Amino acid sequence: MNDRFETLVQRLVQDEAFRGSFFDDPAGAVAGAGLDATPVDMAAVLGIPPAYFAEFARSLPARTLDDGTSAWRSARLSRRH
């Protein structure tokens, strides 16, 4: 998994408005958010039903969504070790 893909998934989980925009217009949403996702990254995400991102977001503790960057990095680091 690459950092661009992880950043895209993180944004889809944490940002409900972005999630809605992405599934309406993937390229426009990515460009508008200033993300560096490739067409391959976007195609991989589009294979996942949008409801999965919303469900995952609901399952996270509130602090993870409020301060998601540090929580996300911690999860990535623990996964890699």
- Max CA pair span of the chain: 36
3-state secondary structure at position 21: helix
Contact 4, 43 (CB under 8 A): no
Between CA 22 and CA 61 the distance in angstroms is 24
Give residue for tokens 């809605």: 20
Q: pLDDT per residue over 20-78, tens digit each?
A: 999 999 999 999 999 999 999 999 999 999 999 999 988 887 765 555 555 555 555 55
**Stated pTM of the model:** 0.74
The structure tokens listed for 16 are 């409900």
Residue 18 confidence class, pLDDT cut points 50, 70, 90: very high
